């Protein structure tokens, strides 16, 4: 069918007033277009000039039209494929293994989308990176049990922008939501066999299509509505994206689209097996132009059509690989750096995968902020296990400058965190010594065993008041260490509610109350929620200016002093056995001073304070209250606690 709008580009379904252009990259198979109607399915042959890209323009196609691409396998059977560029799916994608050609015709279909939407003059919040507070959450899990929103919105996109939920975000003083994957994904067959679900969503099918399960009716418009309302309240939205692999798995896995369309979408050992740098069966090859184009087009799509503010890249080392070799100068990084749309958004890397030399912390280019697992492990060890980690902990407080040079701040601040979606929640870190993943159906073999946690005498829940109070104090120690370190604080949203996963540190398949935020707070947990909100607000008044002072041309003129409790400076030899210290930061040109008093011992210590004038107390983790008082000359720091003091000159 000839039409002046018939074109090989852009890929996917592009809607016009008088019809729709369809285009697909398919060098391995000749494909035809299938349009689904109420009466009968219509098949259209596609044009091609190079036997690589197939395309056509069909008049009178409207938004909501369902379509797919048909190919014939070696046995002469016809298979229906999803469009890799699908902007929407007709229903949640489910299949029974093995996914044969006959079943392929019963699955979800691709949908033509009209992206017109009233954004009401939406403006991105664009928070400076030094003022960014990340709040990681799961769309469904965070609101599924929330009693403050109507049942039809619980667990949905629209649930995240209901007035009471937005008010909660604002009360907690966070700036940025980091959402677990919301692109279309599918549950693996081995989970279905055990009546489990891929809850987290790290098993992508169509990178541009919002997951339909989180919509009441229309995933595209409801997600846009969510982003618009969050932006109105000065809250950014970052997506966790998975471009390192697809849901098609290894050579035994299902075929949804890419496997049939182009074998070079993947890295191959041989024609029978895919390279597996991800642990998920296959690895997307970004040295292949079609894969590279798909990923870049997808990122621009989310920014242009959904006004997304940034991305967190799962197993990002894979994206910077030229087969086995990682490079910060790879085509992927260079393309984003020069892209006028993508260069403006926030970029966060999970800086590892499981391939050769996969751990690349600190090696990403400027404007890429990396998840700092060193901060997580060392900070947990210092407070919860207390081997001789004081020197390493001190390094983490100062921004892990052994890995992230201050000369590259703020365009390369580390993303510091204590808890993430994988691993223990904050409450479980102080309540369990061991993981308890039996519900996952793998005999507790899955999940990390190196949790660096401490149950403080009882495994799990307890009525022992002393243990409850000690756990609460340790939570405050961990949060103050996070919020007053140099970096971008990343908080797990359910930690503000002191949510427990019952010791499960790998709840990826638990679509149930194990993963759903518990909004019924005990008194002590309600007090912690308010304490955390207050301390974040104080952090926002102090730390951005301090970070900026270490990020400009005068950064080396700031004075840093490490001392014992008696006020004498710590020698290199003393760091080997020290169990307490103070950190005094005196900013250049009398722009302010910050003082940390850190006592990991079993006894109270009297710290002699620098100078003889008054300090303002920011917090003391030995109490649930935010202390507002001036301190002079000395201060008694209770066991296993820390204080932060400040003076504005």
For residue 559, give both structure tokens. 């004075």
For residue 278, give both structure tokens. 């991800």
d(CA 360, CA 283): 17
Choosing from 240, 262, 350, 511, which is the catalytic residue?
350
Sign (positive/negative) of CA torsion 238, 239, 242, 243? Answer: negative
Instruction: Return the axis-axis angle of helices 331-338 and 289-306, rounded to nearest 10°.
Output: 30
d(CA 143, CA 162): 10
d(CA 398, CA 547): 10
**Cα atoms in the 13 Å half-sphere on the side-chain side of 171:** 13
Q: Are strands 42-45 and 32-36 parallel, antiparallel or unpaired?
A: antiparallel
Residue whose C-alpha is closest to residue 97's, from 206, 214, 243, 256: 256
Residue whose C-alpha is closest to residue 432's, from 418, 446, 417, 449: 449
Choosing from 240, 248, 314, 593, which is the catalytic residue?
314
* Active site (annotated) includes residue 314: yes
d(CA 412, CA 370): 8
For residue 345, give both structure tokens. 């958004």
d(CA 214, CA 237): 16
* Active site (annotated) includes residue 472: no
d(CA 196, CA 461): 25
Number of neighbouring beta carbons within 10 Å of residue 621: 27
Sign (positive/negative) of CA torsion 329, 330, 333, 338? Answer: positive
Task: Count how many residues are written for the chain.
Answer: 649
Residues annotated as part of the active site:
314, 350
């Amino acid at each position: 069918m000839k039409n002046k709008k018939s074109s090989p580009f852009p890929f996917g379904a592009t809607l016009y007033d008088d019809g729709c252009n369809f285009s697909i990259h398919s060098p391995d198979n000749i494909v035809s277009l299938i349009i689904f109607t109420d009466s009968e399915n219509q098949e259209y042959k596609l044009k091609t000039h190079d036997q690589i890209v197939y395309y056509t323009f069909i008049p009178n196609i409207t938004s909501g039209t369902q379509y797919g691409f048909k190919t014939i396998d070696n046995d002469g059977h016809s298979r229906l494929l999803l469009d890799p560029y699908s902007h929407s799916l007709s229903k949640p994608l489910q299949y029974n293994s093995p996914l044969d050609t006959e079943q392929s015709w019963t699955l979800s279909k691709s949908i033509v989308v009209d992206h017109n939407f009233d954004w009401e003059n939406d403006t991105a919040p664009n928070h400076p990176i030094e003022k960014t507070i990340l709040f990681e959450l799961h769309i469904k899990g965070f609101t599924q049990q929330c009693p403050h929103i109507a049942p039809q919105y619980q667990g949905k996109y629209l649930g995240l922008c209901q007035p009471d939920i937005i008010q909660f975000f604002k009360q907690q003083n966070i700036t940025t939501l980091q959402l677990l994957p919301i692109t279309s994904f599918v549950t693996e067959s081995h989970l279905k066999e055990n009546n489990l679900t891929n809850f987290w969503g790290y098993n992508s099918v169509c990178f541009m299509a919002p997951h339909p399960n989180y919509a009441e009716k229309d995933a595209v418009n409801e997600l846009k509505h969510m982003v618009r309302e969050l932006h109105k309240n000065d809250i950014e939205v970052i997506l966790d994206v998975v471009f390192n692999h697809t849901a098609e798995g290894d050579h035994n896995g299902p075929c949804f689209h890419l496997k049939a369309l182009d074998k070079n979408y993947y890295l191959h050992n041989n024609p029978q097996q895919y390279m597996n740098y991800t642990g998920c069966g296959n690895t997307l090859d970004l040295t292949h132009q079609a894969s590279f184009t798909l990923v870049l087009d997808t990122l621009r799509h989310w920014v242009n059509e959904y006004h997304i503010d940034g991305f967190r890249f799962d197993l990002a080392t894979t994206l910077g690989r030229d087969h086995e070799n990682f490079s910060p100068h790879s085509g992927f990084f260079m393309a984003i750096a020069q892209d006028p749309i993508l260069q403006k958004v926030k970029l966060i890397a999970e800086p590892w995968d499981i391939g050769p030399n996969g751990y690349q912390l600190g090696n990403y280019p400027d404007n890429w902020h990396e998840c700092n697992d060193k901060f997580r492990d060392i900070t947990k060890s210092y407070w919860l296990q207390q081997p001789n980690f004081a020197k390493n902990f001190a390094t983490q407080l100062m921004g892990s400058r052994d890995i992230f040079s201050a000369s590259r701040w703020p365009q390369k601040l580390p993303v510091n965190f204590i808890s993430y979606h994988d691993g223990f929640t904050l409450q479980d870190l102080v309540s369990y010594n061991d993981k308890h993943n039996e519900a996952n159906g793998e005999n507790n073999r899955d999940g990390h065993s190196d949790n660096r946690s401490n149950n403080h005498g009882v495994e799990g829940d307890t009525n022992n008041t002393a243990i409850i109070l000690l756990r609460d104090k340790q939570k405050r120690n961990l949060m103050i260490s996070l919020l007053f370190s140099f970096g971008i604080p990343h908080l797990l949203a359910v930690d503000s509610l002191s949510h427990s996963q019952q010791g499960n540190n790998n709840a990826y398949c638990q679509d149930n109350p194990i993963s759903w935020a518990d909004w019924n707070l005990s008194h002590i947990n309600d007090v912690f929620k308010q304490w955390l909100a207050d301390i974040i607000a104080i952090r926002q008044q102090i730390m951005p200016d301090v970070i900026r002072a270490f990020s400009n041309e005068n950064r080396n003129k700031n004075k840093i002093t490490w001392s014992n409790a008696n006020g004498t400076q710590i020698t290199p030899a003393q760091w080997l056995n020290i169990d307490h210290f103070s950190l005094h930061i005196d900013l250049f040109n009398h722009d302010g001073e910050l003082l940390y008093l850190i006592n990991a011992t079993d006894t109270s210590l009297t710290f002699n304070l620098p100078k003889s004038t008054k300090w303002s107390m920011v917090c003391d983790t030995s109490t649930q209250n935010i202390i507002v008082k001036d301190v002079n000359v000395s201060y008694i720091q209770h066991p296993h606690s820390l204080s932060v003091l400040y003076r504005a000159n």
